[in-house]
Amino acid sequence: MRSALPGGGLPADPTAIVLDATGLTCPLPVLRARKALNSLKPNDVLELRTTDLAAPKDIRSFCEATGHVLIGQERVGDFDIARIRRK
């Protein structure tokens, strides 16, 4: 699924692959993101949507540990969005 965010902090990226991890709790959002990133080509962008309050910190740590680039994170309504560029 491809998506772009309407307005807001992160610039729209219509080429981003969207992964809906809303409703999942730690560690599932990060595990699903890892699996999705492994299926992407280098420099592809994953847009991860989560509702777990720990997810933003966990995603930041995951990117630091794996070398993927955290483009940005923002809160939109009831969920968080993180954009990650595959290394």
Amino acid 14: pLDDT: 84
Q: How far apart are CA 74 and CA 56, in angstroms?
A: 9
Catalytic residues: 26
Q: What is the largest CA-CA distance in the chain?
A: 30
Where along the chain do its domains lie?
20-85
H/E run at residue 80:
strand 79-85
**What are 81's two structure tokens?**
């969005």
Amino acid 2: pLDDT: 39
Taking only the tens place, the pLDDT of each residue in 36-61 is 999 999 999 999 999 999 999 999 99
Q: Closest Cα to residue 49, out of 66, 65, 36? A: 36
Architecture of domain 20-85: 2-Layer Sandwich (3.30)
Give average pLDDT by consecutive 10-residue segment, the chain, 87 residues.
50 89 97 98 97 97 98 95 97
Residue 59 neighbours by CB under 8 Å, 6+ apart: 29, 30, 33, 48, 50, 70, 73, 82, 84
Amino acid 1: pLDDT: 37
Amino acid 3: pLDDT: 42
